Structure 1
Amino acid sequence: MSETHLSEIRVDPLINKEEEPIQNNQPQELKMDETLGNNSSQNNKRSLWLDSIMNENDQPLLEKKIPRVPHKLRNENEECYCPLEVSIGPYHYPEPYDPVREVETLKVPMARQFILDSGKDIELIYSELQKVIQTAREFYDEDITRFDDEQFTQMMFLDGCFILQFMHCLINYESEKLEMSDRQIFHVKRDLLLLENQLPFAVLDSLRKQRYKNLSDSNEIINNFLSLHIRSSIKPIQKWVPIALTALGLFMIPILFPLFLLCFIIFVCNFGLSYQWLSPFRFSKNVSLDWSPPPEKTQPEHLLQLLYYKSMYHCSKRNHKKAQPGSRGHGLYYSAKKLKKAGIRFWPRLTGAITDVKFKPSLLSGKVEAPPIIIDESTESLLLNLVAYESAAALNQRLWVSSYILFMDSLIDDAEDVEEMRSNGIIINYLGADQKVADLFNGMGQSLTHDTAAYNDVKMAINKQCESTVKRWAYEWKKTYFSNPWTFITVLAASLGLCLTATQTYYTRFPPK
């Protein structure tokens, strides 16, 4: 042992110290093998990383069907995305330390009434709902894992029954059964269309199939409920209509009397068909959900998406003309009152989508046709949640709602612009003063991004009309001399007098032979 030890130690005679043992060749070979192994491992990792880049498109990110509101939008107007009266789904589920909202306590009684109205056993309805629960859970973010399957099913059951019962009572004029104040009903209507307050439509569909024998009844209720929020079907009466109808009525009474009699007979016959003994002669109606989805969708994912495709999408496509690459699109440089001075009028357009805007030029003026929009306390929240939905859902990068808000913002600078659009039936103002409506659109437009292709044709046509000097002069001349009958008669009499004077002067100078 000692000889072996001494043979591996050298003593330096100069410093009289022992040196380290002499390393043999075997450890050096091991180090080289380790280095080669590390290089091989790095090469494999590099290859996997490069392959992941090339195969990125083969594995697209799965977007949640009920996404969260993007942080940028939430930071701008956080109160517009939070419920005021009722929380639906897991995102805003009340915590134990949260104050109890009065409407939240009505979920159980309303669910009980929903079950009683269906006439079916609650166990049957609950078991049918359980069949779609796993699909419904996939609609939300991963942070809902705090709910187990049973808790999640109970939440979906109560919230789904609450939504369907609320819409049924509201649309069928049975608001007294809700046991809510008018203010609470208004807030619940708002809360049911928040992005983070949505319920998978599969849940609603499962419950309503147990409640209604004919789904057409439920479809009609949902259509009418969504129609309460944005667009109005009321076409304003123009100022000249009452005068024209009065004059026409006095002249046409003898002629129209037989027609009135015929209408009365038709009404009586139609009323008679409502009795049970004539029910075999009645036609059963078949009402579908009034929306225009993309080809691959057969059922909406939630109520907010249904409203989006119902009121925004299907008519918006015609207003998106492709812009040049790198172009910022065309801007609109004239507000509503300036358009009026240029001879451009506003006219209500009774279509399904509030984004369906058209411009129709004429010889001396033009007409902007836009669907009426209801403006009340919930409008800002509703429009911004639609913006959040189209931003978070990545709908082919089309920003239809944002573009519509910015288009309205370009038309509205102050209360005078709102008054012009309100008097022509484009804006139905339940908010109060016209300046509040102007502040609403001006405020929303500050933080939004528009689609460069949105309303390009409309903007180009309006700008061209306003920049035409000839048309502007012609309109001013028309406005000055033909704005009312008395001015027109005065101009006509003066022109006739001038012609007679010129004729008399001519024959005085050149008398006939």
Structure 2
Amino acid sequence: MESHSHHSGRSSREIFLTKCYRTVFIESRHEKRLPLIQKVPPKLREVETNKDCFDPLVVSIGPYHYGREECHIMEDLKYKRAKRLLSISSRCHDTFEDLYDMVLKVVKENDLRAHYAYNFSDEFDDEQFAAIMFLDGCFILDFICYWLYEDCKEEEEGARERDNSIMRDLFLLENQLPFLVLQELMRKIYIGDIKKRIWIEEEDEEELLWTTREDAQETIIRFINQQIVPHEDILNSDHYSSEQPQPLHLLDCLRTRLEGKYRPPESKREKYQLIRSAKELKAARTVFKSSCEHVLSQISFHSGMIFAECSLPTIVINNSTKSIFLNLAAYEMCPDASLYKVVTSYICLMDDLINDADDVKVLCSEGILLNFLGSNQQLADLFNQMPNQLAPDHSIYSHVKQCMASHYAKKRIRFLNSWASLGVTAASLALILTFIQTFFTIFPTDSFKN
């Protein structure tokens, strides 16, 4: 009754037009664009084994988890890290106020608040939002520089565990900072001074400055590479060049590095292809080897007359791997992301190859998986749990899977044929022996003597 009386003074026309105004002119103002830094899809968060994979443990970046209780201690540390970063760079004559004003200008001119969901970014005015961008940007750059160039990591108790947690937090989908903020700060802060302060005594300063976008991005890429593979020489790899578009954020940079120069197949094969585990493929004379490409899209399988060769990238597996991979998969799931599901498809491929600890043993023995997680069974459980609620693009590895299935089937047929041939031979031999035995029963050897 109350609802009826509430609308009794308003015509149906007024109610309709009011609803249209609210939807079209207010809500659509936010809905016409999707944020570049989106939230994790709910269906991934609802998976019980994923519950600890998407929220920061020690440091919040950006507005989504700002004020999170678990990250409170790190908020005070951000001021100290910003001060350390600026004090080390002797060529940076800008004050805190100067750099903050620069970030504020970048926020306004580029509408950086639109990078996030409006119901989160609208909680802050431009000045508050710029303060978050400034402190978080300085914190990230300080962490990257000291991670890359400090010879001896801080020795205080718990420092290593804290830094590993920070590393994990920097690659959460909801914990990203627009790359533009990092780029603008890097224009003012000089890596050369940081290097010399830490461990370089004399060096050509001009070669050490973040003078161009490529210099700054190269530092980020070097940082990214150390999280993927143990080889430092891959910095010169052509899988990530300055010709590529500027990344949106660190997670985007990592995903681009893992994807490499992927080109989708001309004809998409959407058919699901069942493949055997690593242990079964090895039994079918498949040799696994670590590829030198170190990108997830460059997986190959070549079948020869006797043996087959499967080439897979080397991946370091540790306590952060599950969180990082699932956040990459969540990023690929985002609406309007227009991303190839290379990481998602890789996760599902590894789930196919790994059923138990024996499969992990096969891949670890060839240097494909570097296990810093724990037991082989723990690693198997990790890959078996991750694909829950993930939908791979079956066309990405369709050729590889087809070759695997064909090779296994061919070896199985040969195996069965060999047993069939052996059976025929055994039966023939048994028949001959039976004939001989019958012959000598009818014609004993004594009859030949007579």
- Interval containing the TM-score (normalised by the shorter chain): 0.7 to 0.9
Q: Say if 2:306 is the partner of 1:364.
A: yes
Q: Say if 2:153 is the partner of 1:173.
A: no
SS at match of 1:447: coil
Q: State the alpha-carbon separation in 2 of the partners of residues 476 and 109 from structure 1.
A: 72
Q: 1:310 aligned to 236, 254, 257, which one? A: 257
Quote the offset at 1:125 in angstroms. 2.1
Quote the offset at 1:443 in angstroms. 0.6
Q: Say if 2:55 is the partner of 1:82.
A: yes
Alignment of 1:212-231 (within 5 A): 212=190, 213=209, 214-215=211-212, 217-231=215-229
Retained in 1: the 8 A contact 2:278–2:359?
yes
Quote the offset at 1:448 in angstroms. 1.4
Q: Say if 2:179 is the partner of 1:201.
A: yes
Say which is worse superposed, 167-176 or 359-368, in terms of deviation.
167-176
Aligned to 2:372: 430
Alignment of 1:101-250 (within 5 A): 101-119=72-90, 120-122=93-95, 123-134=97-108, 135=110, 136-143=112-119, 144-174=121-151, 176=153, 181-212=159-190, 213=209, 214-215=211-212, 217-233=215-231
Quote the offset at 1:198 in angstroms. 0.3
SS at match of 2:394: coil
Detail structure 1 runs of 4+ shifted over 4 Å in the superposition.
Answer: 174-180, 286-290, 318-321, 469-477
Retained in 2: the 8 A contact 1:330–1:460?
no
Q: 2:268 aligned to 310, 319, 322, which one? A: 322
Retained in 2: the 8 A contact 1:69–1:389?
yes
SS at match of 1:445: coil
Alignment of 1:453-492 (within 5 A): 453-469=395-411, 472-473=414-415
Aligned to 1:374: 316
Identical positions, percent: 35
Q: State the alpha-carbon separation in 2 of the partners of residues 321 and 206 from structure 1.
A: 42
Specify whether residues 161 and 174 from structure 1 end up closer, same or farther in structure 2 by C-alpha distance, changes over 3 A only. farther
Specify whether residues 176 and 466 from structure 1 end up closer, same or farther in structure 2 by C-alpha distance, changes over 3 A only. closer
Quote the offset at 1:314 in angstroms. 2.3
Aligned to 2:197: none
Quote the offset at 1:321 in angstroms. 5.1
Matching residue's letter, 1:140: Y
What is the total number of aligned residue pairs between the two structures?
368
TM-score in terms of structure 2 length: 0.74
Matching residue's letter, 2:255: Y
Specify whether residues 420 and 340 from structure 1 end up closer, same or farther in structure 2 by C-alpha distance, changes over 3 A only. same
Specify whether residues 101 and 181 from structure 1 end up closer, same or farther in structure 2 by C-alpha distance, changes over 3 A only. farther
Retained in 1: the 8 A contact 2:57–2:70?
no
Specify whether residues 178 and 156 from structure 1 end up closer, same or farther in structure 2 by C-alpha distance, changes over 3 A only. farther
Q: State the alpha-carbon separation in 2 of the partners of residues 356 and 133 from structure 1.
A: 38
Quote the offset at 1:178 in angstroms. 9.4
Quote the offset at 1:113 in angstroms. 1.0
Aligned to 1:335: 277
- Give the superposed CA RMSD: 3.3
Q: State the alpha-carbon separation in 2 of the partners of residues 334 and 223 from structure 1.
A: 35
TM-score in terms of structure 1 length: 0.65
Say which is worse superposed, 99-108 or 387-396, in terms of deviation.
99-108
Q: Say if 2:345 is the partner of 1:403.
A: yes
Specify whether residues 99 and 335 from structure 1 end up closer, same or farther in structure 2 by C-alpha distance, changes over 3 A only. closer
Aligned to 2:198: none
Quote the offset at 1:118 in angstroms. 2.6
Q: State the alpha-carbon separation in 1 of the partners of residues 167 and 116 from structure 2.
A: 22
SS at match of 1:363: coil
Quote the offset at 1:372 in angstroms. 0.7
Retained in 2: the 8 A contact 1:348–1:372?
yes
Specify whether residues 127 and 413 from structure 1 end up closer, same or farther in structure 2 by C-alpha distance, changes over 3 A only. same
Q: State the alpha-carbon separation in 1 of the partners of residues 138 and 171 from structure 2.
A: 16
Q: State the alpha-carbon separation in 2 of the partners of residues 290 and 139 from structure 1.
A: 27
Matching residue's letter, 1:69: V
Specify whether residues 399 and 62 from structure 1 end up closer, same or farther in structure 2 by C-alpha distance, changes over 3 A only. same
Quote the offset at 1:218 in angstroms. 3.2
Quote the offset at 1:395 in angstroms. 3.5
Quote the offset at 1:132 in angstroms. 1.1
Aligned to 2:41: 70
SS at match of 1:334: coil
Specify whether residues 399 and 347 from structure 1 end up closer, same or farther in structure 2 by C-alpha distance, changes over 3 A only. same
Retained in 2: the 8 A contact 1:219–1:289?
no
Q: 1:351 aligned to 284, 287, 293, which one? A: 293
Matching residue's letter, 1:154: A
Retained in 2: the 8 A contact 1:64–1:139?
yes
Q: State the alpha-carbon separation in 2 of the partners of residues 128 and 383 from structure 1.
A: 34
